[in-house]
């Protein structure tokens, strides 16, 4: 039986002395401490249910996925994989999905490191993106076919101005470079994220293994095996999450570096920029945090999770969002000014190609969506404190990241001769056809579809973490009259 709202409210004060809209001092609904006694049952009910809104979202994303497959097959049938130019929008779609979904688990990892209590409702929302890592691996297979070889196949055939070996980070062409090492990186990232998800979800699966039925029960029993919540197990889990989190972050930065380098920078002859991989990672963090907040908002507003998500995750995350937005602008300027001031022919051509002429429109949209709109929204305290403000800024950043991926990846794919020494002209912009639109929307739909399916296996709340939070947080009043409500936080270590 799923716990009713009245049961939540009735028990809400037992552990947390406050609940939802009934508490929070000047900011009602800011802090919510769910009742640990009912959360396991309630989450099991939510995972097993199929609300109408969820079914519609699954259907819509499924249709987009099918359209994406149609677009992909049509593109492959029409153009094959020999030339990278027709695949520019596929590269952009992969880049966008990869950028969001690979960086999202960092939200759980990073805020666990900092031992932030507000991150507890956010953890599982971000960790569940690990499942989309499987989609990233599948989507990366055609990316390997698109990537031209490092050695110029026409070297020594009279193309005197072309390079024998194109400029990449794989200077001396180690075995398998770049394809195998790129693939290994993407797989390692997905496997690490899935392991973090498993390790984090083991206690929750163990709790539900005796009550869950059907496939979920079978899966929980196999995956949670010997977990009983003994002290040694909690210690191993804590240390494991810390270690794997650190490795995930270190691997993510590396894989983002090779993806941005191999599929954007090295595609445009003469584009040498040490800031771009950092900029790519930063865009990933900005959009990933924003996407987690969008999901949190949707589940709070329409998904029946208002008893579990207060406004504090939005408020706390908004400050980090604002910082990332400002850093985004700083890195963009640092990249731009170097090229603008350098004034070499290749630098001027790249600026014209990616910023002012060919993809000038996309750049303006990118700048507005990734910086101007989030900045102007997050500047205001009341917006940061609201449940809608940070997700709205996140939505804008997500659209901006899509513009960014389109600009650099489509630009990279359509820059002409990849073995040229430098970009000696300003290529025209490549506009999407119907199949490209299907591919881009299909990739986003596929990611959403995969994520939605994952929520039917694991709850969107890290139950053990939320329960742990209830041990260390409560609302108290400063005076015996019940005035001056404040939050008491405990730090166990």
Residues that bind other proteins (CB under 8 A): 36-38, 40-41, 165, 169-175, 177, 181, 184-185, 188, 191-192, 195, 199, 202-203, 207-208, 210-211, 221-240, 243-244, 247, 250-251, 254, 258, 463-465, 467-468, 471, 492-493
Interhelix angle 463-472/5-16, rounded to 10 degrees, is 50
Which contiguous run of DSSP H or E holds residue 128?
Answer: none
The smaller minimum CB distance to other proteins, of residues 309 and 464, is found at 464
Kindly state the tokens that stand for 222. Answer: 């196999």
| Least Å from the CB of residue 104 to other proteins | 19
Q: How far is the CB of 182 from other proteins (least distance, A)?
A: 10
- CB 409 → other proteins: shortest distance, Å? 21
Smallest distance, Å, CB 184 to other proteins? 7
| 3 state DSSP class of 111 | helix
The nearest distance, CB 188 to other proteins, in angstroms, is 5
> Both tokens of residue 59?
């259907």
Determine the angle formed by the axes of helices 105-113 and 88-103, rounding to 10 degrees. 30
The helix or strand, by DSSP H or E, that contains position 489, with its residue range, turns out to be: strand 485-489
Q: CA–CA separation, 422 vs 235, rounded Å?
A: 54
CA distance 98 to 189: 11
Site of tokens 């290749």: 346
Q: Supply the minimum distance, in Å, between the C-beta of residue 62 and other proteins.
A: 32
For the CB of residue 125, give the shortest distance to other proteins in the complex, in Å. Answer: 19
Nearer to other proteins, 137 or 169 (CB): 169
DSSP assignments along 213-240, one per residue: -HHHHHHHHHHHTT----HHHHHHHHHH
Closest CB to other proteins among 252 and 423? 252
Decide if 407 contacts 362 (C-beta within 8 A).
Answer: yes
Category of 320 on φ-ψ map: left (φ > 0), alpha (ψ -120 to 50) or beta: alpha
Least gap, CB of 9 to other proteins (angstroms): 18
Q: What is the chain's alpha carbon radius of gyration, rounded to the nearest angstrom?
A: 24
Q: Which is nearer to other proteins, 173 or 342 (CB)?
A: 173
Question: Between 245 and 374, whose beta carbon lies closer to other proteins?
Answer: 245
Q: Which is nearer to other proteins, 252 or 365 (CB)?
A: 252
Q: Are 377 and 389 in contact (CB under 8 A)?
A: yes
Residue 154: how many other CB atoms lie within 10 Å:
11
CB of 231 to other proteins, least distance (A): 5
Q: How many residues does the chain have?
A: 493
Which CB atom, from 73 or from 230, has the smaller least distance to other proteins?
A: 230
Sign of CA dihedral 13, 15, 18, 21: negative
The smaller minimum CB distance to other proteins, of residues 54 and 195, is found at 195
- Give the residue with the Cβ less far from other proteins, 233 or 348: 233
């Amino acid at each position: 039986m799923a716990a009713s709202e009245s049961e939540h409210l009735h028990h809400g004060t037992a552990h947390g002395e406050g609940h939802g809209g009934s508490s929070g001092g000047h900011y009602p609904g800011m802090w919510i401490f769910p009742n640990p006694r009912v959360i396991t049952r309630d989450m099991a009910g939510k995972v097993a249910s199929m609300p109408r809104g969820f079914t519609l979202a699954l259907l819509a994303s499924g249709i987009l996925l099918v359209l994406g497959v149609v677009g992909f097959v049509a593109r492959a049938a029409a153009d094959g994989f020999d030339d990278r130019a027709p695949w520019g929008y596929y590269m952009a779609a992969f880049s966008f999905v990869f950028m969001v979904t690979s960086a999202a688990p960092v939200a759980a990892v990073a805020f666990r490191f900092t031992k932030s209590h507000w991150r507890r409702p956010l953890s599982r929302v971000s960790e569940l993106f690990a499942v989309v890592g499987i989609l990233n691996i599948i989507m990366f297979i055609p990316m390997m076919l698109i990537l031209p070889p490092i050695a110029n196949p026409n070297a020594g055939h009279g193309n005197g101005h072309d390079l024998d070996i194109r400029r990449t980070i794989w200077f001396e062409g180690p075995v398998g470079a770049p394809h195998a090492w790129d693939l290994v990186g993407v797989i390692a990232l997905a496997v690490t994220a899935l392991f973090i998800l498993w390790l984090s979800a083991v206690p929750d699966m163990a709790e539900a293994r005796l009550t869950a039925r059907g496939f979920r029960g079978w899966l929980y029993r196999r995956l949670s095996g010997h977990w009983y919540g003994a002290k040694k197990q909690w210690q191993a889990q804590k240390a494991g999450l810390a270690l794997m989190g650190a490795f995930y972050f270190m691997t993510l930065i590396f894989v983002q570096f090779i993806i941005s380098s191999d599929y954007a920078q090295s595609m445009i002859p003469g584009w040498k920029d040490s800031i771009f991989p950092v900029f790519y990672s930063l865009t990933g963090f900005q959009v990933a945090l924003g996407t987690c907040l969008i999901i949190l908002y949707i589940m709070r507003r329409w998904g029946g999770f208002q008893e579990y998500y207060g406004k504090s995750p939005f408020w706390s995350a908004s400050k980090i969002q604002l910082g990332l937005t400002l850093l985004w602008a700083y890195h963009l300027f640092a990249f731009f000014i170097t090229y603008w001031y350098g004034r070499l022919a290749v630098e001027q051509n790249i600026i014209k190609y990616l910023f002012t002429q060919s993809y000038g429109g996309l750049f303006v949209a990118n700048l507005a969506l990734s910086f101007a709109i989030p900045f102007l929204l997050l500047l205001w305290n009341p917006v940061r404190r609201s449940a809608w403000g940070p997700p709205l800024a996140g939505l804008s950043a997500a659209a901006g990241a899509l513009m960014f991926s389109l600009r650099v990846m489509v630009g990279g794919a359509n820059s002409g001769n990849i073995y040229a020494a430098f970009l000696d002209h300003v290529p025209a912009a490549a506009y999407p056809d119907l199949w490209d639109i299907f591919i881009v929307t299909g990739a986003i739909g596929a990611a959403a579809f995969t994520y939605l399916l994952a929520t039917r296996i694991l709850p969107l709340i890290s139950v053990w973490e939320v329960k742990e939070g209830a041990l260390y947080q409560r609302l108290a009043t400063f005076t015996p009259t019940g005035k001056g409500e404040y939050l008491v936080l405990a730090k166990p270590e």
